[in-house]
Chains A and B, each alone.
Chain A
Amino acid sequence: MSKEPVAVVGIGQTRHVAARRDVSIAGLVREAAHRALHDAELTWSDIDAVVIGKAPDFFEGVMMPELYLADALGAVGKPMLRVHTAGSVGGSTALVAANLVAARVHGTVLTLAFEKQSESNAMWGLSLPIPFQQPLLAGAGGFFAPHVRAYMRRSGAPDSIGALVAYKDRRNALKNPYAHLHEHDITLEKVVASPMLWDPIRYSETCPSSDGACAMVLTDRAGAARAPRPPAWVLGGAMRSEPTLFAGKDFVSPQAGKDCAADVYRQAGVTDPRRDIDAAEIYVPFSWYEPMWLENLGFAAEGEGWKLTESGATALDGDLPVNMSGGVLSTNPIGASGMIRFAEAALQVRGQAGEHQVDGARRVLGHAYGGGSQFFSMWLVGSTPPDS
């Protein structure tokens, strides 16, 4: 049983902002899709299937919006799949699309993820009450803050680490024209002085709420050979899930995340992620999740992730740059955020990341998670195909 190698040959995203009042949902997704096709120098007729993802339908108030979006995405007469795996969905959607190519079901697939959060109210979209079940506590921050506290206690990390991450990511965002937040006057002091929202998470350590979409064109070996620009090759990809709440759950470093990373590394032949991976786009909606995920992903030993962050290794000019694009902390159209991580990883190994390009990035990780740290999806992309 052999799999077809999968290549990313087109990437497009919208300029992410708080509210895109100039376009409909259809207009938003078409903009990203069109840019991905343009990048690949392909047309709508070159696409065999469309795989689309977004986070809960309540965020826009449209049930199964892929039905309405079929026309805008050139899917009429084609297969169209709609993936939904909570916050990890952008990554999962790309992996489902990649599997269509890997299984040789289709040669070239358009995959896209979006969120147009200004159409509705995301906080209330997450807060619809249901009897006998725990409500989310004042948005996602309320849910995750206690787990950050648990990490700080377990690792002995000083209070200052979270602000370092936020300052780094927001500065990286200044080099990314598509990023939502461009805070030209940001300083570390301003991050530390920002209001406390969910102790220990401050306002400036929190992701924004964005409108945006991200699209990729995935293709097989033959398609990659025709690509006008260097492709990114999928060296490994995996999804893992575990229950949201149960007695044995480690919210600081969930087993599903560790297993998912281990599967990706096995597929890609990575034995030492710190050495073998050049950079990473990691899903960090709250600053402290950088050191937490560095440990979960095997870049640092347990309790040591914050030291990696503090050392500057994860800065754009460090030896393991993390969230070169500015990350989720600078741009968060929730359903698209995972795919943006995957796409930014691909941009890096293609050498197409512009001002936030890491020199010599050959193997880069894209990471997403969702639910109550319950769903994980990751891929590792490289500048050379898996066989060579």
Chain B
Amino acid sequence: MTSEEAPGPRDIAVVAFAQTDHRRSTAESSEVEMVMPVLHDVLAQTGLRTADIGFTCSGSSDYLAGRAFSFTLALDGVGAWPPISESHVEMDGAWALYEAWTKLLTGDADTALVYSYGKCSPGLVRDVLTRQLDPYYVAPLWPDAVALAALQAQALMDAGLTDERALAAVGARSRADATANPHAQLKGRIPQGDHVVRPLRTGDCPPIGDGAAAVILAAGERARRLCARPAWIRGVDHRIEAHALGVRDLTDSPSTRLAAERAGAFERPVDTAELHAPFSSQEVVLRRALRLDDSVCVNPSGGALAANPVMAAGLIRIGEAAARIHRGASDRALAHATSGPCLQQNLVAVLEGDPR
């Protein structure tokens, strides 16, 4: 090693983002067919070909497809020939991006393709997600994702941190903002509806839908050549909490706060935050954990209440935040992804554009 070598980590940016239109069902197409257009889109945005990509990483879950190794066929959409340097996380694509980011930090690659997808339509996603729970004590009771989120919402209300009107306003704002998002599944003025599981109403819950997203990362000068205004990743961190709901304070999200701190989110204010909050009540929790006040534009895309393709919705938050920086609508944005029941695991990324 020579003393001339740069001591700090290298700069890495999101240089392209694409997503599908998110829809209630895509029964007519396979996962490969769903993923291919977004892969072609990000490659076209950068002018790169598959063979130019240094590292590829994807995120998905076998349980949505209802079969083992579902991701092995999605790889066909990448065109992995000649063979590629590639990996996969059984997680939301936001964590695939994290793996790709660390790979680029090592210097082994200068560009990375990250993609993820979720087809929720083949099964009953409320039932499917119960299989995430402790298999011996909890999963046999089949508590579904809405019921668990309702527990969290009720805890928030009991603590005096929100009420049904405030939650309804989160849903209404998200779907109003989504009218500007051509990919969103639910948009416009949608009635709050009846209770699904008290205190959550239809409007507090995400739509069930299919969709995919892709991002390209590039390091240093490479990023500047591929994108007029790269979204530099200033920090990214993720943390997990205990699984059992009984040992967690559901009104708080310490893992989000810690991840944000480690990602540098609190060093300077952000102007935009894309939060992966599938339930309106979870936005309340996240806003508090991330200390976001009304000066921050939260979920201008409509967020997960407008489109929630499971396993892609977190990566889409990073993509949406990056795209705002690309087009000059944001200078410093926070993106958040979550996994597990009631915000068990959380990732925070801080993105910045070059000064204008």
**A→B interface (CB under 8 Å):** 1-3, 24-25, 55-71, 75-86, 92, 95-96, 99-100, 102-105, 119, 125-126, 128-130, 133, 238-244, 246, 248, 254-256, 259-260, 263, 371-372, 374-375, 387
Contacts and interface: CB of A to CB of B under 8 A. Distances in A.
B102 A56 contact: no
B5 A2 contact: yes
Contact of B75 (A3, A60, A243, A255): A243
A255 B9 contact: no
Contact of B89 (A60, A79, A84, A256): A84
A103 B99 CA distance: 11
B12 to A, nearest CB: 10
Given A100-B102, A102-B106, A259-B82, A80 B345 contact: yes
Contacts of B143: none
Interface of B: 1, 5-6, 9-10, 56, 61-63, 65-69, 71-73, 75-76, 80-91, 95, 98-99, 102-103, 105-108, 128-129, 131-136, 139, 237-244, 254-255, 258, 339-341, 344-345
B106 A82 contact: no
A237 to B, nearest CB: 9
B243 A99 contact: no
A103 B81 contact: no
Contacts of B133: 68
A241 B91 contact: no
SS class, residues of chain A in contact with chain B: loop
B71 A67 contact: no
Given A77-B258, A92-B87, A64 B240 contact: no
Contacts, number: 195
A255 B90 contact: no
Contact of B90 (A25, A59, A84, A259): A84
A32 B228 CA distance: 49
B105 A104 contact: yes
A129 to B, nearest CB: 8
A243 B76 contact: yes
Given A58-B62, A67-B344, A238 B135 contact: no
A295 to B, nearest CB: 17
Nearest 5 CB-CB pairs, A to B? A1-B107, A56-B68, A256-B83, A103-B105, A241-B86
B82 A244 contact: no
Contact of A78 (B85, B89, B240): B240
B131 A62 contact: yes
Nearest to A92: B87
Contacts of A86: 69, 72
B86 A79 contact: no
A57 B62 contact: yes
B105 A126 contact: no
A4 to B, nearest CB: 8
Nearest to B56: A241
A67 B83 contact: no
A64 B254 CA distance: 21
